[in-house]
Structure 1
C-alpha cells in the first residue's frame, strides 16, 4: 500500500522536475523503483504486524520506513539495561522476520524520560539500544545491518510532566529502512 503511494509521488516529482519528453521516462523509472522497494517493505511490515500483535510492541510506518516502538515496561526494569523475558520473546519473534528480509538496515535508538540527569540517562539509553542490538544479533540478524544510539531524554514523544508521558518517553525504537541491495533489486526488476 505504501509502496504504490510512494511510487506515485516519486513519479509525479520526476515528471515535474524533468519536464518534456524525459519526464515520462523519469516518472516511470522512479515510480517502478519506489514500487519495488515499497512492496518489499510492505511485506515486511505485514509480517511484523502479524507476528508482534500480542507483544505490546507498536509497528508504525512512514513511507519506506518501519518503526518498532518498544515501551520500557515491555523491555526493561526501571534504571536497567537488562532485557526482560517479555522483551527477549518479542525480539526473538521480530528477529525471525528481520532475518527473512536482509535488505534493510536497523537503527536502534534508546530513549529515557527526564527523571534523573544526563550523566545517568545518556549511558542508560545507549546501553538499552546496545542490549537490543546484541540480542537481535544473537538471533541471527547480521551485525553489519545494525547501528545504535542513545538519546537520553532529548527526544520525548510525550510530556514529561505526567507519569503516563514519562512512561511513553522511556522506550527503544527500531527504525527499519531499505538498504542499497533493496534499491538495486528494484532497479533490476525494471
Structure 2
C-alpha cells in the first residue's frame, strides 16, 4: 500500500505546486506550423498492430474504474480525460487527486516501454476568448505531461500542445456537447508513429 501512496503523494505535490515542463524536457507543438503534405504522411513508418493490441489491453486494465475512456484511433490509442471530472473546477488547470492514480499507471506503462511515445493535447469548448481557451488547454496538457515526466518518460518521447476549441468532439451549441469538448487526450503510439500524429495535428 505504501508503494502506491508515496508516488501518488509526490505527484500530487508536484501538480499542486504548479509543476511545469521546460522546453528541454518535453516539446510543445505550435499550431502555426505549416501543415504536412500527404507525401510526408505516406512516408511515416507504420505502427505495429501487435504492439498496439498489447498496449490497448494494458491501458484499459490500468484505467478500469476511472473517468477516462479509451478509443482506438488509427495507429494510436486515444485516452480521453473529461476536464470536468479530471480537473479542479476552482483551479481549472490543476488535476484532481482522483486522476493521479490512473494517470500514473498509464505513465509508468509508457515509460517502461522504450518503443512508446505520447502526444498530449488539451481541448476546450468555444465559450469565451479563443486565446484564453488555447492557453487553458495547453496548461491542462502540461499538468498531465508532468505526471508522465515524473514517471520517467523521456522528453524526446513526450509532446504536448493546446488545441483550444479547434477540434470539437460535439456541438458547442448545448451544455452536453461543450462538456465533451472540454477534455485532454493522451495519444499513445510507437515512437515511429509520433511524426504521423504530429502531422495530423497540424492539418
Instruction: Tell me, yes or no, whether TM beats 0.5.
Output: yes
TM-score, reference length from structure 1: 0.72
Runs (5+) with no aligned partner, structure 2: 1-44, 194-203
Maintained 8 Å contact 1:44/1:101: no
Larger radius of gyration: 1
Is this contact kept in 1: 2:108–2:148, CA < 8 A? no
Q: CA deviation at 1:62?
A: 2.5
- Supply the distance in 2 between the matched residues of 1:124 and 1:106 (Cα, whole angstroms): 20
Matches of 2:67 and 2:159, distance apart in 1: 23
Runs (5+) with no aligned partner, structure 1: 1-32, 182-190
Q: Tell me, in whole angstroms, the C-alpha distance in 2 between the residues paired with 1:169 and 1:180.
A: 28
Please give the secondary structure, in 2, of the residue aligned with 1:120: helix
1:51 counterpart = 2:46: no
Partner of 2:75: 64
Higher relative contact order (CA 8 A, sep 6+): 2
Say which structure is richer in helix: 1
- The match for 1:156 among 162, 165, 168 is 168
Say how many residue pairs are matched: 148
User: How do 1:1-190 residues align onto structure 2 when only pairs under 5 Å count?
Assistant: 37-78=48-89, 80-180=92-192
RMSD: 1.9
On the 8 A contact 2:110/2:117 being kept in 1, the answer is no
The TM-score normalised by the length of structure 2 is: 0.68
Q: Which residue of 1 aligns with 2:4?
A: none
Distance 1:63 1:122 in 2: 25
Deviation at 1:110, TM superposition (A): 0.3
